[in-house]
Amino acid sequence: MITSLANWILTFDILSGMGSSVAWGLSLFVVAALIFVFVAVNAIVLVYIERKVSAFMQVRLGPMRVGKFGTLQTVADALKLLQKEDIIPKMADKVLFIVGPWVILVASVVTFAAIPFSDTLLAANMNIGLYYIVSISSIVVLGIVMAGWASNNKWSLYGAMRSAAQIISYEIPVGITLIAVVAVVGSLNLQTIIEAQGGTGNLFYWIPIPLPNWFIFHNPFLFIAAFVYLIGATAEINRTPFDIPESESELVAGFMTEFSGLRWALFFLSEYANATLVAFLVAIVFLGGWQSPFADYEGTQIGFSIITLVAIMWTLFVRTKTGRLSVYPLGLSFVITIAVWLFPGFAIWLASPGIFWMLMKVGTIIFLLMWFRWTFPRLRVDQLMYVSWKVILPLSLINLMGVAIWMWLTGEIQF
Amino acid sequence: MSYFSNISSAITTLVDGMKVTMGYFVRPREHVTLQYPDEVWPIPTRNIGVGEIDSYNTIRSKLVVDFEDCIGCKACERACPVDCINIETFKAGPEEDIGTTKNDTKIKLRVTSFTIDMSECMFCDLCTHPCPEDCIHMTPDYQFISNDNVKLDVTPEERWRDRDHLIYQFSKVSPEEREQRAAEAAKVAAAKAAAMEAKKAAAEKAAAAKASAEQAALDEAAREASVVEVTQSAASMPITPPAPIGSSPQSTPLTDAISGPAPDIISVQDTTPPDDTVEKLNIPMETITSPEVSEEKPVATETTVEPEKSTDTEDSSTGETENG
Ligand code: SF4
Ligand code: SF4
């Protein structure tokens, strides 16, 4: 993307006077700014959605008063945070206190450089993309420890120490589950990983249900690995039920207790950037990234017809079970099915890979993360370690072996 | 094996929990949120009236004074346990006609300032019952939020409190008129003082003429004063006085039964027959419900000693607020 942007800049007559390296640097800057804007807007939108989702799950309404249905609430909050006084506690370590939030933010924003939004839209097509993302996102823990230590507050320090312990523990199973995928594809390049999931295939290779050839459907061990990764990644980004570093009820707000205003906003920005990153990784590695779930034009029509049938059955089931008639999923799928049958162009667009499918998958995963957050209670510290070292880690190791054996059985790799 | 059963039970319970939250998420909005300024809870209605004012059917909330009916008697100010009512009155001239209340009572005092500090008011409703004109009353309006930042007329001592908008001014008298009234009252007071001075000077001149007679009169007065003091202390002593002469034998068990100022009343009025004593006993019961009786009673006993004390309000021609 950077190179193509640089080439595009050089096509203008006025700008062609500048050297190609200058154009490259300029487009580098533009892409970096775009990524940062994406992260910032993403955080604002996600905070709003999260508040709404949590409210609906708790039979509340959520923000309602700023803008229609409170849509501008997070914008107003962001503006408020920008205006706030910049407070640095007297006894805090000033340098670390200032640097800490930025380290966290940079570590989480920089990872987006390697994320492919679609088959053409990505900042840097790295051959070690997965490795890069996993390693860079671990720097976040450095920033957290800095912030916790600099605050000169026992709660903050506790939060930081817990965070360090937690992230280090969960890096291992997360890494191993990703290695299982890398073993299947034979590449660390995210584009290659996505391309390997194109087309349709049988569920778990042998069960004759035609499904997209995503890794989650490809292999029962990768199916488990997807959930292991999701759990481990949830713990890594300190989201509930693994949010013991910032557990409000015990540690006030953990490592961000002493932060306010803009610095606190940076924490939030990076928190949601991290959540999005995890969602992107799950979508890329297990759900086929920007690949469409439908193989072609006819596949789209048949697929949506099946979805409508399922929706009808589901509606009838709900009607007999609870006596309530929920028409929205049925109506939506019905409308899309009719549109798909009437307009072939729409069906072709749906069947083609693109950023739409990527964002759909990412949105689903983010919703899943929110669903986790507003359902599960927080784990105790020892339970957290138990889950990591005694459940998730053995499971991921077994998975790695299982994946290898499965590959050998299905003949996808030969020795 | 318990390892795998642990994992499976964890998964099933987690899925159970997620089902619950998803059920709430997709359900048609059965939210419990009350969108406050647009929707409000219905105000409960209950009878807080006592005695004749039983039509007084509202919750205890914001106080309102029907200012046209206020005669400035300050009964509410005296009743308030937290002293948050502040009334300033000036006596009207004898030929002036300020008007009458809805009960056809002639208003004799100009109320130039009538403030209630709503931030101190505890909504006890004690001020409404003593009002002889039923003009101070509670309304069901519990919302004290307002957009207008009008600074009300409060004394400078109260300005440090940043809640001026909670000090409610009910008087319709403008600040200019208030100043004018104060100046007039001050003038009247000065004139009175000058007259007093002249009178005093005249009296002194006359007194100098008969100094020996004055000495005798002074002795007489001193003797009288000591007698008055003794009776006064007996009346105002809060604890049971040392065995008053002539107290009826029934009074001892009765004083045990009642706590408070009532025993003094009984023991001082030693001439009252037993039946009357029993009647008097009902007074403390009433004091629980209405405060004016408890306010009035010590005054009633003291009237015999110092009659000018009860007319304090009427004589306030100095132009200053009593309760600053
Ligand atoms: S309600 Fe009670 S506290 Fe409030 S002004 Fe009346 S007597 Fe005072
Ligand atoms: S008791 Fe009633 S009439 Fe008397 S000053 Fe208060 S409000 Fe006015």
Predicted confidence (pLDDT) per residue in A206-216, tens digit: 777 777 778 88
Give a yes or no: residue A158 inside a domain: yes
Per-residue pLDDT at B147? 53
A372 interaction partners in chain B (CB closer than 8 Å): 18
Per-residue pLDDT at B169? 79
Query: What digits encode the pLDDT tens for the residues A161-200?
Result: 888 888 888 888 888 988 888 888 888 888 888 888 877 7
User: For the domain bounded by B54-173, which CATH number is listed?
Assistant: 3.30.70.3270
A58 with B24: Cβ contact below 8 A: yes
| pTM of this prediction exceeds 0.80 | no
Q: Identify whether A241 is preceded by a cis peptide bond (ω within 30 of 0).
A: yes
- Nearest CB neighbour to A371, from listed B7, B18, B27: B18
* Helix, strand, or coil (residue B93): coil
Question: Average model confidence (pLDDT) for chain B?
Answer: 67
Domain of residue A333: give its range.
297-352
Please tell me which residue of chain A has the smallest CA distance to B37.
A65
- Judge if A308 and A279 occupy the same domain: no
Please check the confidence at residue B36 and state whether its pLDDT lies above 80: no
Give a yes or no: residue A237 inside a domain: yes
Task: Kindly state if the Cβ of B74 falls inside 6 Å of ligand 2.
Answer: yes
* Alpha carbon of A171: minimum distance to chain B alpha carbons (Å): 21
What separation in Å is there between the alpha carbon of B74 and the centre of ligand 1? 13
Mutate to test the pocket of ligand 1, among B121, B139, B292 (most ligand atoms within 8 A of CB): B121
- The reply to whether A383 touches chain B by the CB within 8 Å rule is no
* Alpha carbon of A393: minimum distance to chain B alpha carbons (Å): 13
d(CA B191, CA B185): 10
- Judge if A301 and A273 occupy the same domain: no
State which of A83, A112, A130 marks the end of a domain: A83
Q: Which residue has the higher pLDDT, A149 or A251?
A: A149
Percent of chain B with pLDDT over 70: 56
DSSP collapsed to 3 states, chain A: CHHHHHHHHHCCCCHHHCCHHHHHHHHHHHHHHHHHHHHHHHHHHHHHHHHHHHHHHCCCCCCCCCCHHHCCHHHHHHHHHHHCCCCCCCCCCHHHHHHHHHHHHHHHHHHHHHCCCCCCCCCCCCCCHHHHHHHHHCCHHHHHHHHHHHCCCHHHHHHHHHHHHHHHHHHHHHHHHHHHHHHHHCCCCHHHHHHCCCCEEEECCCEEEEEECCHHHHCHHHHHHHHHHHHHHHHHCCCCCCCHHHCHHHHCCHHHCCCCHHHHHHHHHHHHHHHHHHHHHHHHHHCCCCCCCCCCHHHHHHHHHHHHHHHHHHHHHHHHHHCCCCCHHHHHHHHHHHHHHHCHHHHHHHHCCCHHHHHHHHHHHHHHHHHHHCCCCCCCHHHHHHHHHHHHHHHHHHHHHHHHHHHHHHCCCCC
Query: What digits encode the pLDDT tens for the residues B216-254?
Result: 777 777 777 666 555 554 444 444 444 444 444 444 444
Please check the confidence at residue B115 and state whether its pLDDT lies above 80: yes
* B43 conformational bin, left if phi > 0, alpha if psi -120 to 50, beta if neither: beta
- The reply to whether A374 touches chain B by the CB within 8 Å rule is yes
Please check the confidence at residue B191 and state whether its pLDDT lies above 60: yes
ipTM over 0.85: no
- Judge if A179 and A224 occupy the same domain: yes
For the ranges A51-55, A72-76, A90-94, B300-304, the lowest mean pLDDT is seen at B300-304
A60 with B31: Cβ contact below 8 A: yes
Query: What digits encode the pLDDT tens for the residues A97-107?
Result: 888 888 988 88
Q: Residue for token digits 């391309």?
A: A195
B25 with A64: Cβ contact below 8 A: no
Per-residue pLDDT at B259? 43
| CA-based nearest residue to B234, from B248, B244, B247, B246 | B244
Question: Average model confidence (pLDDT) for chain A?
Answer: 82
Give a yes or no: residue A357 inside a domain: no
What separation in Å is there between the alpha carbon of B193 and the centre of ligand 2? 30
Ligand 1 atom with the smallest distance to the CA of B125 is 1
| Shortest-distance ligand to the CA of residue B48 | 1
Sequence ranges of the domains in chain B: 54-173, 194-311
* Alpha carbon of B40: minimum distance to chain A alpha carbons (Å): 16
Which residues sit with their C-beta closer than 6 Å to ligand 1? B 63, 79-80, 82, 84-85, 116, 121-127
- Judge if A230 and A336 occupy the same domain: no
Give a yes or no: residue A359 inside a domain: no
d(CA B92, CA B96): 6
| CA-based nearest residue to A59, from B38, B16, B23, B36 | B23
What separation in Å is there between the alpha carbon of B122 and the centre of ligand 1? 6
A61 with B33: Cβ contact below 8 A: yes
- The reply to whether A64 touches chain B by the CB within 8 Å rule is yes
Task: Kindly state if the Cβ of B116 falls inside 6 Å of ligand 2.
Answer: no
A56 with B32: Cβ contact below 8 A: no
Please check the confidence at residue B285 and state whether its pLDDT lies above 60: no
Ligand 1 atom with the smallest distance to the CA of B120 is 3
B141 to A29, A168, B42, B138: CA distances (angstroms): 60, 58, 12, 8
* Helix, strand, or coil (residue B237): coil
d(CA A46, CA A53): 10
For residue A198, what are the contacts with CB-CB under 8 A and spacing of at least 6? A213, A288, A291, A353
d(CA B104, CA A120): 91
Q: What angle do CA B297, B303, B307 make, to 5 degrees?
A: 140
B20 with A375: Cβ contact below 8 A: yes
- Judge if A68 and A211 occupy the same domain: no
Answer positive or negative: Cα dihedral of A257, A260, A266, A272. positive
For residue B263, what are the contacts with CB-CB under 8 A and spacing of at least 6? B240, B251, B254, B255
Give residues 19 to 38 of B whose Cβ lies within 8 Å of A: 20-22, 24-33, 35
- Judge if A101 and A68 occupy the same domain: no
B25 with A60: Cβ contact below 8 A: no
Query: What digits encode the pLDDT tens for the residues A4-13?
Result: 776 676 676 6
Give a yes or no: residue A358 inside a domain: no
- Judge if A161 and A223 occupy the same domain: yes
Residue A408: phi, psi to the nearest 5? -70, -40
- The reply to whether B193 touches chain A by the CB within 8 Å rule is no
Give a yes or no: residue A280 inside a domain: yes
- Judge if A213 and A284 occupy the same domain: yes
- Judge if A251 and A322 occupy the same domain: no
Query: What digits encode the pLDDT tens for the residues B144-186?
Result: 665 554 444 444 444 444 456 677 778 777 778 888 888 888 8
Per-residue pLDDT at B81? 92
Segment holding B86, helix H or strand E: strand B85-91
Residue B115's beta-bridge partner residues? B86, B169
Query: What digits encode the pLDDT tens for the residues A120-145?
Result: 777 777 888 888 888 888 888 888 88
Fill in the DSSP letter of residue B67: G
For chain A, first and last CA: distance in Å?
38
For ligand 2, atom 2, the nearest C-alpha belongs to: B131
- Judge if A16 and A130 occupy the same domain: no
Per-residue pLDDT at A404? 85
Query: What digits encode the pLDDT tens for the residues B83-101?
Result: 888 888 888 777 777 777 7
| CA-based nearest residue to A235, from A174, A155, A146 | A174
Total tally of structural domains belonging to chain A:
3
| CA-based nearest residue to A110, from A36, A207, A29 | A36
Per-residue pLDDT at A18? 67
State which of A83, A118, A149 marks the end of a domain: A83
For residue A16, what are the contacts with CB-CB under 8 A and spacing of at least 6? A10
| Shortest-distance ligand to the CA of residue B85 | 1
- Judge if A149 and A236 occupy the same domain: yes
CB count, 10 Å around CB of A63?
19
Residue A222 · residue A181 · CB < 8 Å: yes
Ligand 2 atom with the smallest distance to the CA of B136 is 7
- The reply to whether B42 touches chain A by the CB within 8 Å rule is no
- Judge if A194 and A96 occupy the same domain: yes
| Shortest-distance ligand to the CA of residue B76 | 2
The average pLDDT across B44-67 equals 65
Q: Residue for token digits 């021609």?
A: B317
A61 with B17: Cβ contact below 8 A: no
Task: Kindly state if the Cβ of B254 falls inside 6 Å of ligand 2.
Answer: no
Give a yes or no: residue A363 inside a domain: no
* Alpha carbon of B23: minimum distance to chain A alpha carbons (Å): 8
CB count, 10 Å around CB of A228?
24
- Nearest CB neighbour to B35, from listed A55, A56, A64: A64
A57 interaction partners in chain B (CB closer than 8 Å): 21-22, 24-25
Please tell me which residue of chain B has the smallest CA distance to A367.
B22
- The reply to whether A375 touches chain B by the CB within 8 Å rule is yes
Please tell me which residue of chain B has the smallest CA distance to A241.
B14
Task: Kindly state if the Cβ of B70 falls inside 6 Å of ligand 2.
Answer: yes
- Nearest CB neighbour to A60, from listed B26, B27, B32: B32
Give a yes or no: residue A253 inside a domain: yes
B27 interaction partners in chain A (CB closer than 8 Å): 324
